[in-house]
Chain A
Amino acid sequence: MFKKSLWKKAVISGLAVSLMLTMTACGTPNQPAGTSKVESDYPNKPITVLQGFAAGGGSDQLAMLTGPYLQKELGNTLVNQYIPGATGAIAWTQLTKQTAADGYTLSITNTPMLMTNYLMNTEIKYTIDELTPIANVVTDPGILVVSKDSPFKTYQDYINYVKANPGQLTIANSGTGGDDFFTILQWQKATGLSVKMIPFTGDGPSWQAAAGNKVQASSTNLGVVYSQVKAGNLRALAIYSEKRSDLLPDVPTAKELGVDLVAGSSRGYSAPKGIPENAKKKLIDSFTAIAKDPAFLKGLQDAALPIDLKVGDEYAKYLKDQETEFKSIWDSVNDTIQK
């Protein structure tokens, strides 16, 4: 009899542990919707950070690196809540449509997916006008890479081949509608040349296809392939940033090579529209402060993520400009893609 009750206890305690695990997984529930009254002591409770992508991805990496410093500045904890799906659209729809604008729920906002989601699919209803952009933290510039055994030694070799074989060169991107997809479209528009775009399911499979000579090139991001380029598995031909990267000073920018193209993927934080002014100010001040912290900057540097701080209205304008640009690109290619 004693033995039996012991087993029962074991089973019950096991269940309790599983429930605890689940609670942690769920994070804190959303704040109840209601009036956003002005609080002078913001933040006086934990802040939820919605993530539109699974744990372990690029957004999570930013959250893990930024979180500890941001918590110290804000004086309260940040709770990550992962709501992956529809390229972030489920989390962003929740942020804009179902979340109280009290400053206690933020989301990591990734461009260009934040805009291209609704530009490409009418089923996705939110727009950036329903957000209060707080701060952009990093911009990972686009980069053109080829396998180490590729015949393309320089960008010139590459472009010569594309010119000689229009529409034949296979180039991988991280997925239709992603940043690299648009980067290639922008490159085609800027150069007037055409390549054969092959979409993959993420940045990893995209560069791996190039490294394994399954495709002839990959358009991806610096942070993604930095260690591979450094180790010599991939060769970088051009980088789509304003100026050369400190990490790879030998790689020329597209601008130097005569292509007017600056592209990449940015990750920052946004809140729902209409959060209290003091909350917005506190958040912006906190981001400005951590961007001066050498330890934080070192963390980003180690992860090969170039900092690109844009706060408040500057970030809002950046998003708006990008929206206009992506809309025009998408409208011009939409017809050809759908065929």
Chain B
Amino acid sequence: MNDIMMGLLNVVSPFNLLVIAAGTGLGIFVGAMPGLSATMAIALLLPITFGMDPASGISMLASLYLGAMYGGSISAILLRTPGTPAAAATVLDGYPMAQQGRAGKALGVSLTASLIGGIISSIALLTIAPALGKVALSFGPVELFAIAVLGITIIGSLSSGSPIKGILSGVVGLMIALVGMDPISGTPRFTFGQIYLFNGISFIIALIGLFSIPQALRLVEKDDGLQKVASSIKDKMLPTFKELKSMTVTMLRSSVIGVFTGLIPGTGGDTACWFGYNEAKRFSKEKEKFGTGHPEGVAAAEAANNAVVGGALIPTITLGIPGSAATAVLLGGLMVHGIMPGPTLMTEHSLITYTLIWAVMLANIFMFLEGLVLTRAAVSVTKIPNKVIAPVIVILCVIGSFTINNSIVDVFVMFTFGIIGYFMDKINIPTAPMVVGMILGMMLDNSMNQSLLMSDGSWMIFLRTPVSAILLLIALISVLQATPLFGFIKNRFKKTTI
């Protein structure tokens, strides 16, 4: 208890507050730039923190991570180009809202949802971290396979309009995920002798291309009529109490989903936003509104991706297991400060750990305040003529895809996906399922093969552990829900009860 209070006292020192505010602001900015990810920014900023004391340095990096999770939604809403992969699901409802002249409201909902997601995950981090940390270890290949299967059922709900087209897009995504070195045998697959393809095609690079390039082209094609709608904030930015109340359940649900997705090593904000969105849609009474500019869709995705931050930090501080790519870099940072990440963080370095936890909590508040100011400024981006904004998007895409691996090959891959995305859009094939397929494909392939190696090829292994059996059952229900059969049973049930 004492350590908790010491951490709080430590964090409210003027220097630490300044560092957290700066980290959060930088995070929002980095997040808003397509291609500049939180992970990359943390790696870049790491050397700067070496001069600070470890608690301040790590707090700054963690607040950057949190800020970036919100920042990604700004460009997703205003430009239809997700700033980070974690904001990809925000595009679905955020951009239609902006088109309807409700850009300010969309950003306000996103900011509020991010705040709630962040605060809930910080509370989880502060109170039940040791208990939840153990959950991270209970996820092995078998459980990860079940998560991937469940994730794939999301494709069904993303394909509004034509399920066949959605499934086509998703399957292509899954197939693209197979490119690269086979994780089990080490043999290259579909690489055509190119060592640049050995690691597969990064979904982040594909995502930049699929979402941003077609949007740049669309902006050039259309006249300036569209953006004039988006630019005027007529309504209030922050959701009213009534609106907030209607979204409370969704935000809470997404926050819990986010914490757990963050907790599981190997899944982060990029997965959580889809899960959050999907569950919001599943439980909603107005399913058909999703994808047309429904504020609840934005809230669901954004609460989930900000809740990931606290969730991903739980196994990081209790066990030394990074819950996501960004926390892996954070752990590397701790090592350079001479702190062995691991189970001793909570005991031997408790002051640093609790300072970090409070910093994450405070960073949420800074994010909210800075977000309010920045968002007003950001909306004016839409006042810039299309002919200017389109090339700027392309430039950002090139920079972003290059910096991920310092590879020009990635830039060409990005453009290839951009062109594919443009034509997919023309024939009304949704690109979102393809991204989900790519994110989950690698996990599905790897975990399935690992599990089958363990079980000598018996598929029963997936039903033998309770966690995976339950997850697979939910996946089965999701699939049935989408078929006419489910509606039939439901109708029958209704009739008999009446």
Contact = CB atoms under 8 A, between A and B. Distances in A.
A55 B183 contact: no
Interface stretch (B167-175, B185-193, B236-244, B479-487): B185-193
Given A212-B140, A214-B142, A11 B381 contact: yes
A26 B403 contact: yes
A22 B35 CA distance: 10
A55 B44 CA distance: 9
Contact of A176 (B186, B195, B344, B383): B186
Interface string B372-401: 000001001101100000001000100100
Contacts of A64: 46-47, 332, 335-336
Residue from B29, B43, B186, B319 whose CB has the most chain A CB atoms within 10 Å: B186
Interface stretch (A77-85, A186-194, A318-326): A77-85
B44 to A, nearest CB: 6
Interface in A171-189: 175-177
Contacts of B384: 8, 11
Contact of B383 (A4, A18, A21, A209): A4
Residue from A21, A60, A175, A302 whose CB has the most chain B CB atoms within 10 Å: A21
Contact of A338 (B185, B193, B340): B185
A124 to B, nearest CB: 6
Interface in B79-108: none
Nearest to B384: A11
A320 to B, nearest CB: 23
A90 to B, nearest CB: 6
Interface string B439-475: 0000000100010011000000000000000000000
Contacts of B184: 176, 199
Contact of B406 (A19, A82, A212): A82
B195 A123 contact: yes
Given A61-B335, A177-B186, A212 B30 contact: no
A93 B344 CA distance: 40
A60 B40 CA distance: 14
Contact of B399 (A22, A87, A201, A212): A22
A200 B196 contact: no
B44 A86 contact: no
Interface in B304-350: 319-322, 328-333, 335-336, 338, 340-344
A85 B201 CA distance: 11
B322 A204 contact: yes
A40 interface: no
A93 B195 contact: yes
Interface string A282-324: 0000000000000000010011100000000000000000000
A97 to B, nearest CB: 11
Contacts of A211: 137
A83 B450 CA distance: 28
A56 B44 contact: no
Contact of B344 (A60, A89, A175, A230): A230
Given A209-B141, A227-B320, A228-B343, A19 B399 contact: yes
Contacts of B183: 175-176, 199, 201
B162 interface: no
B446 A201 contact: yes
A227 B344 contact: yes
Contacts of A14: 29
Contacts of B328: 56-57, 204
B266 A26 contact: no
B338 A90 contact: no
Nearest to A168: B456
Nearest to A337: B185
Contact of A302 (B330, B338, B453): B338
Contacts of B43: 54-56, 82
Residue from A84, A86, A89 whose CB has the most chain B CB atoms within 10 Å: A86
B84 to A, nearest CB: 14
A198 B193 contact: no
Contact of B454 (A123, A198, A226): A198
Contacts of A10: 377
A95 B496 CA distance: 74
A204 B399 contact: no
B299 interface: no
B274 to A, nearest CB: 21
Contacts of B333: 56
A204 B322 CA distance: 9
Given A198-B453, A233-B319, A25 B340 contact: no
A109 B320 CA distance: 26
A64 B334 CA distance: 11
B148 to A, nearest CB: 14
Nearest to A301: B338
Nearest to B338: A302
A170 B265 CA distance: 21
B340 A233 contact: no
A138 interface: no
B44 A24 contact: yes
B137 A212 contact: yes
A200 B265 CA distance: 13
B199 A18 contact: no
Residue from A56, A198, A302 whose CB has the most chain B CB atoms within 10 Å: A56
A4 B392 CA distance: 18
Interface string A48-75: 0000001111001100110000000000
A215 interface: yes
Contacts of B335: 61, 64, 303
Interface in A233-253: 233
A86 B321 CA distance: 24
A278 interface: no
12 contacts: A22-B402, A55-B40, A56-B332, A65-B336, A84-B405, A86-B199, A121-B198, A198-B453, A208-B137, A214-B140, A231-B344, A337-B186
Ranked nearest first, the 6 interchain pairs of A and B with the lowest CB-CB distance are: A227-B342, A214-B140, A56-B332, A55-B43, A86-B198, A212-B137
